[in-house]
Structure 1
C-alpha cells in the first residue's frame, strides 16, 4: 500500500461521464483520493454523501476529491446522479489504479476470505506527495478525518 511520503502514482481512467481523468490534472493542487468497495452500498453511500455534504469546506481548504472503485462508468454515473455527488468517480474496472495504490487486498467477512478493495483514503499535497493515509475510515464522518490531517 502507498505510504506517507510516496508520490502520487501516474494514472488515467474515465470518470462517471466518460471523461478521461489523469493524475497529472492535479499537479500543484491538494488531492484526496478515496477508494470504496462498491457504489450504492450502504457504507459507500454514507461515505460519499458525507464528503458531498462537506464538499464546500474541503474545497475552501484547497482539496480536489476523486473517488475510485472497480465499478463501471454506468454504475458510477448512477451513484453520482442519485446522490448528487459534485466530484469525479473513476471507473477502475481494470484495477490499474487500485493496484498502484495497493488497496486490492485479502478481506474477511462473516468467516469468508476474498479479494477486494480495502476502504482507504490518501491525502496528497500540492507537490503530489502523500501526507496522510486514512485506513480506518469513518464513513459517516469522513470529511472531518480529512480536515484533521
Structure 2
C-alpha cells in the first residue's frame, strides 16, 4: 500500500492520443494522479470537468494532472475532446496501475475506486484521498499542493 512519503512508482501506459506516457517524465514536477471509475458517467464527468476548470491552479502550483481509468484510449480521446480536458488521461485497461497504487474497488467491489494521489516536486506522496464521491478530490489536492 502506498504510504505518505513513498516515491511515485515507475510506470508506462498509453494516453488519450495512444502515445506512451512514462512516469519518468514527471521528474522535478508535482503530480496529481486521480483514479476514477469510468468515462462519461455523471460523477466522473463532473470530477474531470472540475479538474479542467481548476487546471490553471494546478499548473500554477507546478503540478501535472493525470486521470486514470480502465477505459481504452479511444474512449479517453472522445471524453477528453467532448469536455475539453487539457490534462493527460491514461488507459489502465489491465488494472496494473490501480494494483501498483493499491486503489481498492468500492460499492462492495462493483465499481473501480475513486482515489487521488498528490506527489510533490521530489516525487514523494504528500496526500492520498479515497472517496467514491468526486466532490472534494480537487479541493483537497490543491490544498495539499499549496502547503508544500
TM-score scaled by structure 2?
A: 0.91
Q: CA deviation at 1:58?
A: 1.0
Q: CA deviation at 1:141?
A: 4.8
Structure (1/2) with the larger strand percentage: 1
Which residue is 2:72 aligned to? Answer: 72
For structure 1, the residue ranges without an aligned partner over 5 or more in a row are none
Aligned residue pairs: how many?
144
Q: CA deviation at 1:52?
A: 0.2
Which residue is 2:58 aligned to? Answer: 58
Counterpart check, 1:133 vs 2:131: no
Which residue is 2:98 aligned to? Answer: 98
2:43–2:133 contact (8 Å) kept in structure 1: no
1:17–1:73 contact (8 Å) kept in structure 2: yes
Partner of 1:34, secondary structure, is strand
Which residue is 2:45 aligned to? Answer: 45
Runs of at least 4 residues off by over 6 Å: none
Per-residue CA deviation, residues 2-57 of structure 1 (Å, 9 max, x unaligned), is 22111111100000001111110001110000000001100000000001001111
For structure 2, the residue ranges without an aligned partner over 5 or more in a row are none
Distance 1:104 1:39 in 2: 18
TM-score scaled by structure 1?
A: 0.90
Distance 1:104 1:19 in 2: 27
Distance 2:100 2:140 in 1: 23
